A = this chain, B = another copy of it.
Amino acid sequence: MSKLITIAVDAMGGDNSPKKVLDGINLHHQNSKNIFYKIFGNSEIINKIIPKTLSVNSFEVIHTEDEVKGTDSALSAAKRGKKTSMWLAIESVKKKTSDIVVSAGNTGALFVIAKLNLKMIESIDKPALSGLWPNKIGTNIVLDLGANIDCSEKNLIDFSLMGSALYKALFPNEEPKVALLNIGSEELKGTEMIKATYKTLNNQSHKIYSFKGYIEGNEMMNGDVNVIVTDGFTGNVALKTAEGTANFITSELKNAMTGNLFGKIASIINLKNINKFKKRLDPRLYNGGIFLGLDSPVVKSHGSTDYIGFANSLGMCEKIVLGNLIDKIKQNID
């Protein structure tokens, strides 16, 4: 029997919580029996709606009086935060009573409260927000997605180490291939900081990953590399531009395909293929950002995802703990 994993869950964050969080736990529980869920939130509400199919010995509800709201500033949330479900869930990994923490709540508050409670991994200067991104043959890790606006060469090198450790934890049978996001593939392109990072990464030998040089925005989904490193400003713009483009294209496609009778008939005939396409690009499959650099793993679920997306971020938590992410990062640094 594999190791029992304890996941601390902030039940109160994100849209339609705690219902979607509890339904997500229940869905995840059906496939993963070695998980214990520590559920932080308002026990009066939770106890009323907790799914009956969730085994009673697989979870515990820790009552919290308060919660962080989506509209709270990160600092105000941190100030009055000690009684919130988010704070107490994070504190649970700090005290080592949980292996990992997940929240669909306020990203800024989660970042600040995690930084206040958890230590940094030695020699890492800044934590980064990493995310999953589909490519033609599998999945990319992209970081930083917005935790750090200004990054140094040292930060980007740390991101390479941490991103490849995360990739190895999630996909144990694959080799992490790291690239720097830039505006050209030639060695001389880009900012001074990127060029210096390139030089260092290119001259180092790396234990668990190979360095593949620069990558441009249009190549991110080719599948040639799987760990894409950039500063938080550029990474956030790239992520959101990709989201916006995907939404724009699918809505234009929907308009074109269902605007008349021919389109509707064709869509019915082709329903299975359309569903296959939808499933392949379903953002719920890639739900979950991981804060890297803290000495415990912290996962951020998308606030607007549903219970299926939340269950997927629980699945990511499970893989991260089984893959010994924090140990892998520390080994990478040595």
With a cutoff of 8 Å between Cβ atoms, the chain B residues found around residue A222 in the complex are 244
Choose among B146, B150, B217, B281 the residue that contacts A243 (Cβ–Cβ < 8 A): B217
What is the bound-complex CA distance between A89 and B217, given in angstroms?
Answer: 32
What is the bound-complex CA distance between A150 and B192, given in angstroms?
Answer: 10
What is the bound-complex CA distance between A216 and B245, given in angstroms?
Answer: 12
Q: Decide if A121 is an interface residue (CB 8 Å cutoff).
A: no
Choose among B237, B248, B257 the residue that contacts A181 (Cβ–Cβ < 8 A): B237
What is the bound-complex CA distance between A222 and B270, given in angstroms?
Answer: 29
With a cutoff of 8 Å between Cβ atoms, the chain B residues found around residue A233 in the complex are 183, 190-191, 234
B217 and A149: CB pair below 8 A?
no
Q: Decide if A252 is an interface residue (CB 8 Å cutoff).
A: yes
Q: Decide if A246 is an interface residue (CB 8 Å cutoff).
A: yes
Of the stretches A169-177, A272-280, A285-293, A316-324, the one at the interface is A272-280
B245 and A219: CB pair below 8 A?
no
What is the bound-complex CA distance between A221 and B256, given in angstroms?
Answer: 17
Chain B nearest Cβ from A263, distance in angstroms: 5
Choose among B232, B234, B241 the residue that contacts A220 (Cβ–Cβ < 8 A): B241
Most interface-central of A190, A191, A239, A242 (chain B CB within 10 A): A242
B240 and A257: CB pair below 8 A?
no
A256 and B274: CB pair below 8 A?
yes
Q: Decide if A136 is an interface residue (CB 8 Å cutoff).
A: yes
Q: Mark A205-238, 1 if CB is under 8 A from B, else 0.
A: 0000000000011111110000000101110111
What is the bound-complex CA distance between A257 and B218, given in angstroms?
Answer: 23
With a cutoff of 8 Å between Cβ atoms, the chain B residues found around residue A272 in the complex are 262
Name the residue on B nearest A233 (C-beta).
B183
With a cutoff of 8 Å between Cβ atoms, the chain B residues found around residue A265 in the complex are 269-270
What is the bound-complex CA distance between A256 and B270, given in angstroms?
Answer: 9
Q: Decide if A152 is an interface residue (CB 8 Å cutoff).
A: no
With a cutoff of 8 Å between Cβ atoms, the chain B residues found around residue A281 in the complex are 249, 252
A249 and B250: CB pair below 8 A?
yes
With a cutoff of 8 Å between Cβ atoms, the chain B residues found around residue A248 in the complex are 134-136, 221
B234 and A237: CB pair below 8 A?
yes
Choose among B216, B256, B280 the residue that contacts A256 (Cβ–Cβ < 8 A): B280
With a cutoff of 8 Å between Cβ atoms, the chain B residues found around residue A241 in the complex are 217-218, 220, 237-238, 241-242, 245
Q: A190-B149, A241-B242, A244-B218 are in contact. Are A262 and B256 (CB under 8 A)?
A: no
Q: Decide if A31 is an interface residue (CB 8 Å cutoff).
A: no
Chain B nearest Cβ from A150, distance in angstroms: 7
What is the bound-complex CA distance between A32 and B243, given in angstroms?
Answer: 39
B183 and A146: CB pair below 8 A?
yes
Q: Mark A123-166, 1 if CB is under 8 A from B, else 0.
A: 00000000000111000000000100110000000000000000
| Known contacts A234-B237, A259-B273, A265-B270; 7 further A-B pairs (Cβ under 8 A) | A183-B232, A217-B238, A241-B241, A245-B249, A263-B270, A267-B270, A270-B270
